[in-house]
Amino acid sequence: MSATHSPNSSSRQAWTPESWRSFPARQMPRYPDGTALEAVEGRLRRYPPLVFA
């Protein structure tokens, strides 16, 4: 498996820790209830981080 975002891509841009945001999101879930999603995201923001340094 190569470090590019798609083996058939014509733009062979290599992934780096800084470049991941420029790649397209290929599998995004759809949430029919935006209000419920915002409530859950708000709740998760209040929790402590999962990983500590």
Rounded Cα distance, 44 and 35, in Å: 14
Rounded Cα distance, 18 and 24, in Å: 14
CA 27 to each of CA 6, 30, 39: distance values in angstroms, whole numbers, following the listed order = 13, 10, 22
Question: What is the pLDDT, as a whole number, of residue 9?
Answer: 52
All residues at 6 or more sequence positions from 3 whose CB lies less than 8 Å from its CB, including other chains: 14, 15
DSSP 8-class letter at 47: S
Question: What is the pLDDT, as a whole number, of residue 51?
Answer: 87
Q: How does pLDDT run across 4-49, given as a tens digit for each residue?
A: 445 455 456 788 888 888 888 889 899 999 999 999 999 999 999 8
Q: Give the residue, 53 or 19, on which the prediction is more confident.
A: 19
Q: What is the pTM of this model?
A: 0.47
